[in-house]
Amino acid sequence: MPLLIIFFALILYIYCELSLLVSVSAALGVFPTIFLLIAISVLGVWLVKLRGLYAMISIRQDLAQGKLPADAVINSVLFIIAGILLIIPGFISDMLAILCVLPFTRKLIKLWGLNMLKKRFQFVNFSANQTAYQAKDDTVFDAEFERQQDPDKWVK
């Protein structure tokens, strides 16, 4: 059933994207629309490349300061998603990309995504104060070992 929903959502998205593309093409003309789509795709490639480099620098700085780079990683993922959406030809994907880039909507997307993760996964924190696992069997196995040298020194 979920596969069927995804299929129909994809068909609906393609229909809406093509309808909007035809409408813009009728208003602006064919060649300006094609130029606009190419320019937006080039912008998307540039955004992915630039944000990828910035992400590496930002994550490296956070790790050097001893902080977890979670916020930098999430922001970078959203920018890369925005770049990929800009590369996809169409105006609905471009609007979704703009939502991923704007700071206030990016914050809302992060909160929504974290809530979805909390619902799907169980997070467990471990600390040094927790007691170690104690086995129920108190049997002690006493053994000695002796390291033997291989006279041929061949790895077996």
Alpha-carbon span 78 to 80, nearest angstrom = 5
Distance set, CA 89 to CA 1, 71, 120 (Å): 29, 29, 32
Q: Which two tokens stand for residue 57?
A: 């620098």
CA 119 to chain centre: 18
The tens digit of pLDDT for each residue in 115-151 reads 888 888 776 666 655 555 555 667 777 788 787 776 6
Alpha-carbon span 109 to 47, nearest angstrom = 19
The tens digit of pLDDT for each residue in 86-118 reads 888 889 999 999 898 888 998 999 889 888 888
Alpha-carbon span 156 to 153, nearest angstrom = 9
The predicted structure's pLDDT at residue 136:
66
> What is the mean predicted confidence (pLDDT) over 64-86?
86
Q: Is 110 helix (H, G, I), strand (E, B) or coil?
A: helix
The domain ranges of the chain are: 15-119
